[in-house]
A and B are shown apart, each in its own frame.
Chain A
Amino acid sequence: GEDVEQSLFLSVREGDSSVINCTYTDSSSTYLYWYKQEPGAGLQLLTYIFSNMDMKQDQRLTVLLNKKDKHLSLRIADTQTGDSAIYFCAESNKTRAGNMLTFGGGTRLMVKP
């Protein structure tokens, strides 16, 4: 079945850039997503990218997709303490009913002042 992998933890200093990486196995993935989860809260959709794109930028967020290597990354520029959270990578395939998502294990981002 589909598998999505992420590193568990990332620590950066405030003002630096953060890069969170993700790999996936489904070569038929249609969409790839980044979600943010703060403690005790649900998931917030940060951004997504279609599989026919290489890059997407949205304010401080830059998503890079290497489809050949099945590698997705999220870069957060000028990281702030409010960015501390768990970031989940997810993928889906439009052939799955309702566009069901497969999630990675999450990367805990800690931003030090």
Chain B
Amino acid sequence: DQQVKQNSPSLSVQEGRISILNCDYTNSMFDYFLWYKKYPAEGPTFLISISSIKDKNEDGRFTVFLNKSAKHLSLHIVPSQPGDSAVYFCAASEGRGSTLGRLYFGRGTQLTVWP
């Protein structure tokens, strides 16, 4: 009953290349999506988000794409750097500002960027 799925537990990319992390969701009520980044022995930190009224949001080297019809989103990192090596969690909610206060997280993808 995982409502947010990250089917690739790991991804290895060479420095300078593009990293593409994927996320699928099943709940059609989700309308706000976020990516978090987590280093070992630290808490997750917010990276980038996208509302369902958009299909793309960009912040520097990070771009998130949303395909609502496919219930799919992806995070692109260009160019990838060794410091990007971390676990990336996809998360979704039923509305930004909702007092339901609930984010649903995927299992995470371990990204390794090698020199």
Q: Determine if chain A interacts with chain B.
A: no
Residues of B within 8 A of A (CB): none
